[in-house]
Amino acid sequence: MEKLVVEGGKRLSGKTRISGAKNSILPILAASLLSSEEVEIKDVPDISDVEVMLDILECLGVNVSRESSTLNLNPSSLCTSEIPESLMCEMRSSIFLMGPLLGRLGKVKVSYPGGCDIGPRPIDLHLKGLASMGAKISEESGYVYAEASKLRGSTIHLDYPSVGATENLMMAAIFARGSTKIYNVAKEPEIVDLQNFLNKMGAKVKGAGTDIISIEGVNYLNKVSHRLIPDRIIVGTMIAAVGVAGGEIIIDNVIPEHLEAVIAKLRETGIEIWEDTDSLLVKVDRIKAVNSVRTLPYPGYPTDMQPQTMALLSYADGISVIMENVFDGRFGHVEEFKKMGAQITIDGRSAIIKGVNKLTGAVLKAPDLRAGAALVLAGLSAEGITIVDEIHHIDRGYEKLEIQLQNLGAKVKRVHAPVINV
């Protein structure tokens, strides 16, 4: 069992580069199943969710090779649409393999997907959309089966702008007969990245980034080379890290427009952020409380930044309020912060945070991916040593978080249990 050990009190300085986005690469890997030719993807992050997804693709018959951050796939040898349960359970994102597998092979069998424990995560919107495109869906003993020799274009209204459902249905519609229009879609930048990837292969998708996506069915997708957009949540995490630890850093490989809500809100806390074309300069002295952080679908404040923002506001002058509107039950980190002396009260969907001057190092468990990163951030300024356990959650989405922080001067190291000398 590995742990991260954080010694608080070091200000951050220097430069850090952001890798390709986790939430882009996962749907893009799924979408690559639609091609019968070579797929090259650049700037692929070295994270465990990608490893799991590649294991799934290999089980489905895809040839995979990787050289540093470039991935080459050959999906022409795709031979089955049954996803092994052991792998499916490891990652919720495997659900959006349904759309491309149905489109390419006409049937798919998946088990109910895994992923972070951040409250109930139903898949009804995915299934309703696929059914309206003509898929026959049945569910039995934890498995979902879908079948359609040829999907047909349809008009779909999503009850909620779900990121995964938008992506799944976009991919399902690529080989459908006729045109598909999906209303009330999610507008995240990763959906635009997926559209760009699909269109480079010859798909006809438009509207990503707006409320309506239209897809004209095609019969074949060509080879493609694509560079992923940078991970905006890691950018946000790094900004929050400077906010907690103090100091001044430059963050490279950033698309500032993807972070408008994050930059605006974090500036309210007193963090100074200067934007350049593809980088940010971040500097901070003191953190002020903010009385309203509301997570919302993009372009609102991302739920994936909620725990890191809570780490920051735990140190703020005054009382802050965070309202979690996207996921029920995404407050698993609060009890861990409290072990460090944070003063946080939960009231329904809101967390009321009374900032304290100092948190104290403690032994903590990462409850999920972003919450795990937030605990590490909280440790950056805590008095003494913070030990974060269950860091496999963090490794799902951060490429060696400890190295990235060490390079900025933080004292964070990965150790194998048991911890004897810190």
Q: Which of 5, 60, 326, 340 binds ligand UD1 (CB under 6 A)?
A: 326
Nearest position to ligand UD1, beta carbon: 164
Q: Which two three-digit tokens encode residue 202?
A: 């010859």
Exactly one of 3, 10, 126, 226 binds ligand UD1 (CB under 6 A); which one? 126
Q: Which stretch binds ligand UD1 (CB under 6 A): 66-74, 119-127, 146-154, 262-270?
A: 119-127
Distance between CA atoms of 114 and 117, rounded to whole angstroms?
8
Tell the smallest beta-carbon distance from residue 327 to ligand UD1 (Å): 5
Q: Which residue has the tokens 């403690």?
A: 362
Selected binder of ligand UD1 within 72, 200, 327, 385 (CB under 6 A)? 327
Taking the least distance from each CB to ligand UD1, the nearer of 146 and 410 is: 146
Phi, psi of 49 (to 5 degrees): -60, -35
Q: For ligand UD1, what does the binding mask look like between residues 268 and 307, x meaning CB under 6 A?
A: -----------------------------------xx---
Would you tell me the crossing angle of helices 163-173 and 98-105 to the nearest 10 degrees? 10
Q: State which of residues 74, 81, 93, 195 lies at the interface with ligand UD1 (CB under 6 A).
A: 93
When asked if residue 162 is in the footprint of ligand UD1 (CB under 6 A), the reply is yes
DSSP annotation of 301 reads: B
CA atoms of 65 and 323, how far apart (whole Å): 43
255 is written with which tokens?
């698309």
Out of 97, 110, 123, 344, which residue is the one contacting ligand UD1 (CB under 6 A)? Answer: 123
Between 27 and 56, how does the x/- string for binding to ligand UD1 read (CB under 6 A)? ------------------------------
Contacts of 339 (CB under 8 A, 6+ apart): 362, 363, 364
Report, in angstroms and rounded to the nearest whole number, the Rg of the chain calculated over CA atoms.
21
Helix (H) or strand (E) holding 266: helix 260-268
What number of chain residues touch ligand UD1 (CB under 6 A)?
A: 21
What distance in Å separates the CA atoms of residue 383 and residue 259, rounded to the nearest whole number? Answer: 31
Residues 6+ apart with CB under 8 A from 51: none
Which residues belong to the active site? Answer: 116
Identity at 369, one-letter amino acid code: L
Site for ligand UD1 in 166-225 (CB under 6 A): 186
Which of 3, 10, 92, 258 is in the footprint of ligand UD1 by CB under 6 A? Answer: 92
* DSSP notation for 52-65: HHHHHHHHTT-EEE
113 vs 217, which CB is nearer to ligand UD1?
A: 113
Interaction site with ligand UD1 (CB under 6 A)? 23, 26, 92-93, 120-126, 160, 162-165, 186, 303-304, 326-327
